Structure 1
Amino acid sequence: MELTPLALVLIGLLLAAWTVGAAVVVLRASAKTKRTAALQKSLRRMQHLLDVAPAMPLLVRVDGRIEAPERLARWLGLEKMPGYLSELAAITDAGETRGLASRQLDALTEKIRITQKSATPFQLALNPPGSGRSLAFQGALADPQVSPGGAALVWVFDFTESDAELARLRAAANRAEADFAALVGLIEAAPMPMWFRASDMKLRLVNHAYVEAVGAQGAEQVVSGQAELLEPDDSGRSPADLARFALEKQEKNERIVTATIHGERRSLKVSDLPLGQEGVAGYAIDIEEQQQVERGFRAYREAQRAMLDQLSVGVAQFDGEERLVSANLPFARLFGLGAEAISERIAFERFLADARERGRTPEVRDFPEWRREHVAWFGLSEAQEEAWPLPGGTHLRIVGQPMPDGGLVFIAEDRTEQLALSATRDTLLRTRTATLDSLFEALAIFAPDGSVQLWNRSFAGTWGLTSEFLDTHPGAQELLDAIAENLVRPSEAKQIGAVVRAATLDRRGQGGRTELKDGRTLRFAGVPLPDGNGLLTVLDITDSQKAEQALRERASALEEADAVKARFLANMSYEFRTPLTTIGGYAEMLKSGAAGEELSGTAGEYVDAILAAVERLTEQVENVLDLSQSEAGLLPITKEEVDLLALLTEVVREREQAIIGAGLSLDLKGRRGREVMADRRQLARAVGNLLDNSIAATPAGGRILIEIPKPGEGDDWTAAIVLKDTGSGMSKADLDRAMEGLKKGGDGAIEKRSGLGLPLARQLVEAHGGTLVIESREGAGTTATIRLP
């Protein structure tokens, strides 16, 4: 089909029209899309604004239907927003109230109903019990564009925080008003004058005490007349000028002035206290009585210090800051204090340090610690007392009395002469008492009136009396009646009374003899004393006679015992030593092969055991013989000059194999040339027995020390030997049994360990005129000390 040009033009125009129409449609659709997007964005912005807004809208239609954000449901304590106004109050199955209370809902419903009918806005504040918030409801008739048909638009505001703050402010205001009222009442009731000056230094407020002090009719009269309580000071400044000075400096100003109150001059302590820039508060305290007390106290203190200067006891006072306040003359003399010490108010620590430099404190090892202990006296509640022995023989009695104000009264009394006299008196009394008690005679001192004043320990027992009876200080007749009951012939009591009367009244001596019912014979005598008293001495001569007879009998028995012991020792020496010598000789011959055949190993061991047993038995026999001879005083001692170090070296070398075999270490300390007169053999046996005991008692790895100490000043011995070991030690009971040896038998364990070594060592040392002291503790070892004259 062939188109004409006109048709082509028409077709082109039609296509162009269609294109333009399509473009217009597209453009309109695009514009509508943009407006829709903008509207949606605006809606989202408005929704966000509503979500964060401090007020929530509540639209209530005429039929009761409501529209509101879900956020309002949370404000009301609901899980979600209901559809009707009547559903804003709900009660759960558990009985809990959600949303508004019934009365609250009724009030809100009534307000909304009135607004819908008359378009009258309203305001209502509610506290929903379901949420505990404080909500404000502001309602008005809704705009028709929002909701036509007479709906009500209610804006809900959450003012919970504002309400709490308002309640707090109300409470604070109420408290402030109450405090202010109480403060005003307190100021008005204060017994001291109080006032307030404004910034222009004019009186604005005074209390009742101020009014009475100035003699005015009332506070209004004082304020209107500006009646001043105080007078200008010496420089002419008025009380207002002084208050202005305190206001400018913003510092409290205190001073003591005098003023006339009720016709009397009184001392007042005045204080001006600036209250910011508002003015100055002032008050005046009457301290007249306090001033009088202080003046009286100062006078009393001066009198007391003058009196203290007259005492012989040193007294010093330190204040709460531990500084010297006062010291009397004796104290200053005792510790060498000058006037500058009191004027400078030296500290207590410095006082002790200076006293130490002058030698007025005891010698102590740690002076700083000693000083701290005495400084602590300030904090104690009870008095402390000490005795200070000073270099040079001075003795001080120190008393530290803490004071209520934190100070300390330090008292020092020189008791040197008193202690010397007391010591002399005590010595004399002890000497007299000891002398009387140590006498064989029974003594009693009678006063001129016949009463017993003093007696020694044996007087009561001699006459068969009780100590309780003598403690009553009986008279002469009462004493004689008690004595007569114990006499064979009671009439002889008169003879005793005559002797006492002759000594006390007649001042002459007499004597006599009497017999007691228990068979004793007493000799008594009366002696007049220089002080007017009489001394009655009594001697029991029966005991002396019996003792004399007993001594004769004992001497005879001892002589017979010595003879028997001598015969026994001679016989035992022969009976024991001869067989032992024979057994030892044959054993040595067997060991040497003199019998014709050489012994086998086992036989040799048997022979060695026999020789060892013979040697041990021979030693024990000699120990027994020597011990018996020593106890009988027959042990021969031949003294010569002996070098102790050489002697101890020989003793140790003889036991060298035993020490090494026991796994012990031994130290020998001493200097050569230390000589002593002794029997070399017997002294070596004594030391050897002690060393054998230490070797037996010390376990492997232990240590034995032998030392020759040097005599010190005042020692009563010429030479000494000390032997120490680290063995198991012995208890006191075991040591006593070991030292007794065969005397008391001992138990098996002790005899097996020590045998006769310890008793024999003691006898050998005592035979030299020396002493043996053994000290031992279980688990701590043993120490033996030999001292030779």
Structure 2
Amino acid sequence: MMLGAAGFGLVGALLALKWRREADAARSETGEKLGAMRAALDEFESLLAAMPEVTVIWRDTGIEPAVIGPISTLLPGETRAHAVLEFRSWLEDEAARELAARLTDLRIEGRMFETSVTARDGRIIRATGRLVGGAAVVRLRPSGLTVEPPLRGSALTRLPSPAEAQAILANLTIPAWLRDRDGLLVYTNAAYLHFTRTLGLKGERGTAPDIFDAPTRERHLKALEDAADTIALTEQHDLAGGLELVLFPLSGGSAGYCYLPVSRPKPAENEKSEPDLGHLTTVIDALATPIAVFDKRRQLTHYNTAYAQFWGLDVAWLNTAPDEKAILDRLRTQGMLPAEPDYRDWRSKHLMSYALTTPRETPWYLPDGRCANVIAAPATGTGGVIYVFEDMTERLALETRHNALMHVQRETLNALSEGVAVFGTNGRLKLHNPRLSMLWKLPMNALGNHPHIDDIAAACGQAFPEDGHRIWSDLKQRIVDLNPTRTDTEGRINRADGRLFDYAVVRLPDGQTMMTFMDVSESANYERVLKERNEALIAADRLKDTFVQNVSYELRSPLTNIIGFADLLASGQVGPLSDKQRAYTDYIRASSANLGLLIDNILDLATVDAGIAQLSPEVLDIPTLIEKARAGLDATFTGGEEPVNLSVEIENDLPIFVADGTRIVQVLYNLLSNAARFSDPGSQVRLKVAARGPERIAFAVEDDGVGIPEDMRSAMFQRFEGQSVEGRQRGAGLGLAIVKTFVNLHGGTVLIEGRAPRGTRVTVILPANAALALNAGE
């Protein structure tokens, strides 16, 4: 034992040493990973701090925002991080109000923004707001531009700022740009980037390429400075050809845009020279939108592949530079143009596009179901027209389906029996249905103005002075809760006027909140009435069971005395009886036996209803069971009444019968007694016992009585149903009810059917082994 203990201690020490080494190794590895993570975090913070911008992050309401980046880039000489949030101290008043309003929209409604604001020292600050992972992030970066006094000799009192010019240039469909005072690009629009990609120009380090070289830019700046106003000039480009430029000065820089070159045939020697637009080919061929260019003689000078495919025209024919009139006539012949009653008048109006000075848009509804938005724009310097055919078919189909869907949703919402209200993140009502107005007595015109939830609470307080304002004040806490982890809630509102509402608050994916109200006052009243009635029925049923049990037990004691004294009189120990006295005594004994049996049946049914009835299965002898039932039947016919003749047929090779013997005797007795009651005195009653397969035994009792009508057979199994058919006795209606109850306890079935020409057959089918059936039932 000592050696074993020493060995066990040694093994334990070795295991402890091993586990400690593993724990130290894991701790060391964790420390290395933590150190690497901290180093990476420090590196990221250093990178952010080195960037020439300031990032402000609001992770949650009520918590101070995090400020990352060098504050000195925005506020020279300032060291306080949160000084950047004091907008009025370093921004112009209008810019401070605008940035504060945009920040409020970002944090409350999630509305992103990108704008430029002017600092008090004249610098242009670029501000960008986004939602990142549920946090509001604002980036502030100096653009390098400053607001300076107007150019020398300018007649303007104030030059536009770069931010104002950018807002305009961003919407242009022609190349446009912004430059600082040194002539370097600080902004380009989408059309400029597309134009440079078409020319094959690439910028350095991801920046936009400049279409002009340094000497050309210096010449442009010198011309702007000399003119001190907007200038227009033509610049020959090596790749794009002749470009028509428009340049105008800004405070702290300049801006400009150019018209794209358009190709056209060379004029004859005796014609006036027109601008060369051949370089437009490369531009429009890359576009998926159908485009066609016609000169002032209405001849096709250029088109792209999308144009030929859209109209299904032969490319070889288009290369012959046909007249636009010929193209329209061919399209009409092919059934491609809009159906017009006066085609010549329609064509004449369309060809007036060559007199346009500004672009014109006209929708064409084509016979094949397509819709084209035809944009006709004058080709500057050529006198021709540029046509752009936008296929609006899919867009219109989407809009139609969207409108239909919105209409269906609106009608569905209005038809709901529930009151529906959808609130935005700012607490204002975005959507509602008429049922909401009915439930809370709110005017529809007031709800249509998108009121705040506080206004709705005040209106409900006027409509329901007792608790209207309090209810909506409680609901407000669930609506304006911006916690991203909040869950849907539901409950019941018991209004002071007696109305009951089931409400549900559901958070929508876009951050809005939907609230529904269902008036359940009527159903709640029905539920309360049904509950009270059910409780009354349960109490009555319990009282009935108690009454039956008490009466049964109370009747048993005097009945025992009656039976005892009747037996004493019949025995002759108290003296001889006359024939009439003996007949009366036999009637007393028979009636007492019937009454005792009835009481036993009532007690058995009460035991079954209480759920405490139990079976005692054992191996039984079927002939013995039948003899006990016959003896009970003979006892009920004492007193000179002629009994029925009972014949018994038992098949051979019956399976071993396992059941509760007492219950089976009661079943057989009630079957025989019921047959005797509906048979004439002295008639025959037959009991047949046969096997139904290897696992079931059938007991069939037949009589030649008046029979049971088919409409009364189902009632024969109900308790306390007095039989109204003609027979010797009617009884209390418990015989077949006892049979059905005990047979069901054994897992068997009872069938009742009529016999021809008269009589009834009652068949009881029981499992041969009731113990197995009982276990399966449990």
TM-score (norm 1): 0.30
Q: Computing the radius of gyration over CA atoms, which structure comes out larger, 1 or 2?
A: 1
